[in-house]
Amino acid sequence: MRGLVLVAAMLAASPAAAFDFEPVKPLDTTQVDAALLKDVFGAWEIRDRAGKKRCRIVLLREPAIGGMGIEIGEQCAKAYPAMGDVAGWRLLEGWTVDLIDPLRKTRIRFETPDNRYVAFGEPSDIAGMDDLVKLPDAQKPRR
């Protein structure tokens, strides 16, 4: 009986099963036009359908453990709690963008089935996420 209680306690303490993402190969960036690749880096915004909840992220070129670096706006974890666990990102074939946690596990995947990025993942992780939109690059002041 004591062993059964111990097993039940261990199962209750273990994290929930992660979303089962389909394997996608990393994009071979050496085979991609540099201008197309440049458009992926920079500021993006995760939005809900009404456009009221927004989360600004910056996809960086710098390498990070398991992918590339990311800057996440302070309001993001409030708007979308799973963003508090995001530590990097990966660019995959088909221009798929994975947001990854510190253990290099994909938390949120954005794919383009119809000319816009749509979120995939655990329903609780992507609740309210409707779109990932590229923001215009900041213009350098003219001199």
Domain edges within the chain: 24-134
Q: Most distant CA pair in the chain: distance in Å?
A: 78
**Region for residue 28 given its phi and psi (left: phi exceeds 0; alpha: psi -120 to 50; beta: otherwise):** beta
Q: What local confidence, expressed as pLDDT, does residue 78 receive? A: 96
| Calpha distance 106→90 (Å, rounded) | 9
Q: Would you state the pLDDT for residue 19?
A: 81
Tens of pLDDT, residue by residue over 37-60, are: 999 999 999 999 998 999 999 999
pLDDT number for residue 5: 40
The pLDDT of residue 15: 47
Residue 142's SS3 state is coil
pLDDT at 6: 39
**The CATH number fitting domain 24-134, selected from 3.40.50.300, 3.40.440.10, 2.40.128.10, 3.60.15.10:** 2.40.128.10
Which residues of the chain have a pLDDT value below 70?
1-18, 138-143
State phi, psi for 91 to the nearest 5 degrees.
-105, 125
